[in-house]
Amino acid sequence: MDDAQDPNRRDFLFLATGAAAGVGAAFLAWPFIAQMNPDRAALALASTEVDLSQIPEGQVVTIKWRGKPVFVWNRSKEQVEEAKQVKLEQLVDRVARNDNLPPDAPATDENRAAQGKENWLVVVGVCTHLGCVPISNAGDFGGWFCPCHGSHYDSAGRVRQGPAPQNLQVPTYAFESDTKIKIG
């Protein structure tokens, strides 16, 4: 039988060759695509545990989570009360930015601190202006001060003054026990 007279055979060979080339290209490309996945070390950083028993009242501890600094603050009763007195109208950003709450939750101290354990505040330590790391226990509002461009955050991590457009982010976290939290 002549190939010119049998278009079905020619179409089949064309499709079979194209399919084989596609499968071969996928096998060749797979190692290059797979190497872009995070390695075991990065996956291990997906969550981290923090021992709260080592943090005295009034102390801020910085830990590393997913390559970012996270501030864990054991606030005093006075600091908690001061943060609760701030009215939403006084804030630059009135949204809580708490990954544990709905995205439109207001930026009250209750929505920024740990539920039922309001002395604990956990925030990502990256300024929302240009990504610098703020200094703890500094600034005009008793929280953090960003030395790069002058943003001031209060003791609930809410931006109060300066160019930062948003409050410090509260990451997803949960209390594993009274003395341990798991971030992420």
Q: Which residues are catalytic?
A: 149
- Structure tokens given for 112: 């920024």
CA 77 – CA 83 distance, rounded (Å): 10
CA 53 – CA 73 distance, rounded (Å): 12
CA 6 – CA 172 distance, rounded (Å): 65
CA 24 – CA 29 distance, rounded (Å): 9
Residue 128 CB: number of other CB atoms within 10 A? 21
| Helix or strand run (H / E) with residue 80 | helix 77-84
Contact 179/52 with Cβ under 8 angstroms?
Answer: yes
Residue 86 CB: number of other CB atoms within 10 A? 18
